[in-house]
Chain A
Amino acid sequence: MTAEKRLTKIQELVYELKVSNVMRHPVITVRPQDHMSEFRAVLHDMKISGTPVVDGERLVGIISIEDLIKWLTEAEADYSIEQKMSKEVVTVYSDEPLVSAISKFEALGYGRLPVIDRANGRLVGIVTKGAIIEGLLRELEIDYHEEEIHRYRASHLFEDIRSDKTELTIHFHIHGREFEKGGEAASNLKKILKRLNAPPDICRRAAIAAYEAEMNVIFFTDGGDMQVNIMPDKIHIDVVDQGPGIPDIEKALQPGFSTAPDWVRELGFGAGMGLNNIQNCADDMKISSTVSEGTRLDILIFMEENAS
C-alpha cells in the first residue's frame, strides 16, 4: 500500500473514530487540596506527566509536570495543588471525532485533554497524543487483518463454498477490429484466476488460450463474446462470434495456415499459430463454424497442474 493511500486512510480514520475510542480511562486524578509533594509522587508512581484535578465529581483544573518543575525550581513551600494548577481547562467531549482533539492539540500545544461526557459533564477519560497514535495504529491493524482475511477468502473461494455445484461465470465482450485493446479479456482472466489461487501453469494456459481466441475475434470479426466458467475442477472458455466463419476447419488447424491480411501479419499476428497454441494449452478444444454466420470455440482446461 502506498504512503499516499495510508495518509488518506488515517485522514478518514480521524473523522471516523471518536475521542472515546482512543481515550485512556479510568483517569488518574488528584484533588485540589492535595499537596505538590503528593502530586510529584503520583507522577513518579504512575509514570505519567500530568493529571486533571477533580473536586468530588467536578473537574476544577489540570496540572502537569511543567507546573511541578516550576514549583521545584522556585523552591517554594509545599503548596496545595489548587494554588499551582491551571484553572482554565480545555476539554473535549467523548463523542467528538478524533480530529477535533487533534486540532486542539495543534492549536494549544497541550500534552493532554480531559474528556467529558456531554450528557452529565463528568470526567470520563483523558486523551494524549500518544493515545491517539496508539488508537490509530490499532485501527489500521484491524483494517490490515480484514484485508488479509479477504485475500484468504478469495483464494479459498471454492473450498469455502459447500454446494452440489459451484461455478463462477465471467463474461467479456470482445470488440471487433479494436486491435489496441487486444488482450484485455485474457489479461483480466489471468488476474482473476491468480486471485482465485489457481496453479500458475493453469493461469498461464488459460490466459494464452483466451488471448489467441480473443485476437481471432478482433482480427476476423466485428465482435463477439467470451464466457468463462470457472469450476473447482476445470475452466471452460466459450468464445462466440458472428464473423465470416471458417470454411475448412481441418485446414485452419494446420500449423502455419492463415487467412490473415497483410496488415495483420505486419503486426506479428496471423502466423497460423493461434489455434495450435490454443490446442496446446487446452485439455480439450472444439470448433464449430458456419460460413457467414459465425464461429464457436469451446476450450476446456482441467485444474490439476500439468494435466496437459
Chain B
Amino acid sequence: MLLKDIARRLDLEVLCLENRLDCEVSRGYVSDLLSDVLANTRAGDLWITLQTHQNILAVASMNGLAGIVLINGRKPEKAVIEKAMEEKVPLLSSPLPAFEIAGKLYKMGISGTGEDAEGVQG
C-alpha cells in the first residue's frame, strides 16, 4: 500500500514531503527505543513512535524507512522537520495513540512481519 493512501485513510497530518508519499509501505513497526528500531526494521517499513527529536531521522534514514508516524498529536520542532526534508523521510502526525494506529494499519492489510494481514475483517 502506498504511504499516501495510508495518510488519507488514517487522516494523518503530513508534516513535510507531501510530494514524496508515493512510496510503498511494506510493514509497520511500533517502538520508542531507537536502538530497537535500528535493529528490527528494514527498508520500506513505517515507524510509529512518540519520539519527536532529530535522532529519529538519523535512524529512519539509516534503515531506509518509508516514513514516521508521530502519535498522540505530537508535533516536532521546526529543526526536526527541516532535518526530515533533508533526509527525505516523510513525517506524519495523528492525534490517535500508537495502539489505534497500529490496529487500523493491520486492518488495512499492513502487518508487522510483512506477511499478509488481510484475513481481518475491516
Contact = CB atoms under 8 A, between A and B. Distances in A.
Are A and B genuine complex partners? yes
Interface of A: 179-180, 182-184, 186-187, 190, 204, 207-208, 211-212, 215, 267-269, 271, 273-274, 276-277, 280
Interface string B13-41: 00000000000000000001111101100
Contacts of A269: 33-35, 55
B62 A211 contact: yes
Contact of B63 (A204, A212, A268): A204
Contacts of A180: 53-54, 79
A270 B12 CA distance: 30
B58 interface: yes
Chain B contact surface mostly: helix
Of B38, B59, B63, which is in contact with the most chain A CB atoms at under 10 Å from its CB?
A: B38
A207 B58 CA distance: 10
Nearest to A203: B62
Interface residues of B, number: 21
Nearest to B56: A268
Contacts, number: 65
A215 B54 CA distance: 13
Interface of B: 32-36, 38-39, 49, 51, 53-56, 58-59, 61-64, 79, 87
Given A179-B55, A182-B55, A268-B51, A212 B62 contact: no
A182 B36 CA distance: 17
A144 B64 CA distance: 29
Nearest to B37: A268
